[in-house]
A and B are shown apart, each in its own frame.
Chain A
Amino acid sequence: MVRELAEAGVFGVAVPEDQGGLGMGLAAGGVIAEEVGRVFAPEPVVSTIGLSLGLLRRLCPDHPKMAQLIGGEISLAVAWQERGPDGAPADATCRYADGKLTGGKAWVVGAIGSHGFLVVAEQDDGPVLVLAEADAQGLVIDKRTQADGSSLGELSFSGTPAAELASSGAVLTALAEAVADATALAAAELVGVSERAFEITLDYIKTREQFDKPIGSFQVIQHRAVDLNVMCEVAQAGVREALAQMDSETDPKVRARLASRAKARAVTAAKKITRDAIQLHGAVGYTDEFDIGLYLNRALVLSAWLGDDAYHRRLWFEAREQEGAAQ
């Protein structure tokens, strides 16, 4: 399936043409991400377009791994976050010296089955992006299973050999940009999840009968369904507009604000829609016999990844205040 997606140009959609991609931008990436959300594709499409290729195309576009990623021959997981002693996200302490990594990384999407890791680490003169092979010495991957059956990797490195790809402040700038891209694409994927969950639910309430009538003939159900539909349409419009604006915007702060707008909306909508979808299915919605539960679980995972709605509303507000103060 990965190869088929690659042949369709999916992974290189947001990579400029002179770097071997389609150069169609995030807006087109968002359309793909919506479709991924609808069909519940298990492949790491969004993390590849947003994070792995997002980092490489900004930092080392000539690296041979670029073409392999675009061609779907390999997948690389990006390891950038770290877990503090209290379990919450913490400042990066993972060290890179003498060609070796020491420390740990958390919440690595696509870690299981990936061919290698793009690791953001610290060295004496600042941040560095390195590549560690999946079978490198001293690398231990702890698998954390998520609600939708996918997994996150917790990595620990003890003198793990890795090759330097880029260094200096540019690494963190590129990382912030790639995270913004991935956040916006995750929002688009959530829109797809919401849309499909709503369609399934709409079909269900048209066919499920109680009191000798389809339950969708009851006004209380109808009005709830309308509210979910409206929320879904607002989310699609808002997220698509945010992605399109990101394509024409160069200021990284403004792009990050737009990504936060998209994710805040998409998470709020997906949470409400997938949870109400379970309620409208009644008892069968609570079983694993029905697809609707998959969408609830996918929404949980995508909401938690890269920040939920409350988190992004905070970022959005802060960015807006800073822009206002700068004017």
Chain B
Amino acid sequence: MTDWNAMSDADFRKEVRAFFEAEYPEELRHLPHRPKFAEIEHWHRKLHAKGWVAPAWPAEFGGMGLNAAKLLIFYEEQQRWGVNRGRDMGVQMVGPLIIKFGTQEQKDYWLPRILSCEDIWCQGYSEPGAGSDLANLRTRAEIDGDDFVINGQKIWTTMAHDATHIFMLVRTDPDAPKKQQGISFLLAPMDQPGIEVRTITTLSGETEFCEVFFDNARTPRENLVGELNKGWTMAKALLSFERIFIGSPSLAQNALGQLESFARGRGAFDDPVFRDRFAQAALDVEDHAALYARFADQLKRGETLGADVSMLKIWVTECFQRITELMIEAAGPDGGSIGPLQVGNVSVDVLSSFYKARPTTIYGGSNEIQRNILSKAVLGLPG
């Protein structure tokens, strides 16, 4: 077993980069959509054989056991080469939760199946009435003999139509004094008559989001992870690393690179107004990367990140949006047209970038929620 954490950062980066560059299928680089599993299965097999499916998991459960600093490098290289994250909800969300709160039986059964993608997971958190106010969720799970019986509805469930299992937050005690207190974390198989999945078509024409309806769906009682009614605290405990990852500069950096080639090809830099707006955006990305590096260094020193890391997400997602808006400006009369535009030797899909940028300020805790968090937890403002 390799102790990756003992390697120097530079050597580790080199090794990760070399593997991606040699092994990642060219046709899957920078995929513009979320793939179904079948589309990336050949890549997943390679990754699985290499033992690199779960970089953050401890080695004893089949992960790479990377510390935060090495993990960041792994993800940076993944994004740099345009390596698709794959169907990673199991690895990113449910696996760590089972490792932390699951029973031995749950670990033995579920973890290998997550790594092999025998089970493909989707995340059932949001509901029509529980978006930013997630604790307001209403989907009920009631004990009936050896099963939980589930009734309700989930929404924005990414790739539910291509998942075999769902992990979800459900209400198990509707009478708890605080709404955060009556919530549990439950696993359920998707292939059953009580579950119906409908895809939602987004503004960009993709169908990665779904609605999932539960009508007396069933799951065995042993699929409760952690204690009954403790799901909220458990789910929150998982978020700390995600908060720096979601604020990484790569999306904005890639978009800026695209904008630059496109603008140059279209002669947009002849316009001094455009030049200034480009310079603003480019400096916004550069200075954000400096702030990101400051938080990353904190992780490298072994410190825990505070709530202030949320500022990365606010800045970079809004910057990403401005960059894609500049792309539309540079496109001029082509700014409303669907499909790729060929400019010199680059092909740019202007609207697809624009659409891709829109939900970034909504998902992962909307930017307004992030501002609420910073206001309270970092600035100490009342109320």
Give me the interface of A with B, judged by CB distance under 8 Å. Answer: 202, 205-206, 213-214, 216-217, 219, 221-223, 225-227, 229-230, 233-235, 237-238, 240-242, 261, 264-265, 310, 313-314, 316-317, 320
Contacts and interface: CB of A to CB of B under 8 A. Distances in A.
Given A233-B311, A234-B288, A313 B374 contact: no
Nearest to A269: B287
A229 to B, nearest CB: 6
Contacts of B314: 226, 230
Nearest to A310: B276
A229 B382 contact: no
A265 B286 CA distance: 10
B279 A313 contact: yes
B383 interface: yes
B287 A216 contact: no
B372 A237 contact: no
Contacts of A241: 287, 290, 293
6 interchain residue pairs of minimum CB distance: A238-B287, A217-B383, A222-B375, A237-B291, A241-B290, A237-B290
Given A205-B381, A206-B381, A213-B383, 17 more contacts: A214-B382, A219-B372, A222-B371, A223-B368, A229-B311, A230-B315, A233-B308, A234-B290, A234-B311, A237-B293, A241-B293, A261-B283, A261-B287, A313-B283, A316-B279, A316-B283, A317-B279
A225 B379 contact: yes
Given A219-B372, A222-B372, A237-B294, A229 B287 contact: no
Nearest to A222: B375
Which secondary structure dominates where chain B touches chain A?
Answer: helix
A264 B311 CA distance: 21
Most chain A beta carbons < 10 A, residue from B279, B282, B308 = B279
Contacts of A233: 291, 308, 311
Contact of B374 (A221, A226, A237): A226
B205 interface: no
B381 A235 contact: no
Interface in B209-259: none
Interface string B297-334: 00000000000100100110000000000000000000
B276 A313 contact: yes
Which secondary structure dominates where chain A touches chain B?
Answer: helix
A314 B278 CA distance: 10
Interface in B329-383: 368, 371-372, 374-375, 378-383
B132 to A, nearest CB: 13
B280 interface: yes
Contacts of B291: 233-234, 237-238
Contact of B287 (A213, A219, A265, A317): A265
B30 interface: no
Given A229-B311, A234-B288, A264 B375 contact: no
A233 B298 CA distance: 15
Interface string B260-287: 0000000000000001101110110011
A206 B380 contact: yes
Contact of A229 (B278, B286, B374): B374
Given A222-B371, A238-B287, A317 B381 contact: no
B371 A237 contact: no
A317 B375 CA distance: 35
Contacts of B290: 234, 237-238, 240-242
Given A238-B290, A313-B276, A229 B378 contact: yes
20 contacts: A202-B381, A213-B383, A219-B372, A222-B379, A223-B368, A225-B381, A226-B379, A227-B371, A229-B311, A230-B315, A230-B374, A233-B308, A234-B288, A234-B291, A237-B287, A241-B290, A241-B293, A264-B279, A316-B283, A320-B282
B174 to A, nearest CB: 29
Contacts of A214: 382
A222 B370 CA distance: 11
A310 B277 CA distance: 10
A225 B375 contact: yes
Contact of A217 (B282, B288, B311, B381): B381
Contacts of B293: 237, 241
Contacts of B374: 226, 229-230
A242 B374 CA distance: 26
Contacts of A222: 371-372, 375, 379, 381
A229 B311 CA distance: 9
A131 to B, nearest CB: 38
Contacts of A265: 283, 287
B262 to A, nearest CB: 16
B143 to A, nearest CB: 40
A265 B290 CA distance: 12
B361 to A, nearest CB: 13
A26 B375 CA distance: 33
A213 to B, nearest CB: 7
A30 to B, nearest CB: 13
Contacts of A229: 311, 374, 378-379
A261 B382 contact: no
Contacts of B380: 206
A215 to B, nearest CB: 10
Nearest to A223: B371
Given A223-B375, A234-B287, A237-B293, A216 B382 contact: yes
A223 B367 CA distance: 10
Nearest to A229: B379
Interface in B101-149: none
Contacts of A317: 275-276, 278-279
Given A206-B381, A217-B382, A234-B291, A226 B283 contact: no
Interface string B161-180: 00000000000000000000
Contacts of B379: 202, 222, 225-226, 229
Contacts of B311: 226, 229-230, 233-234
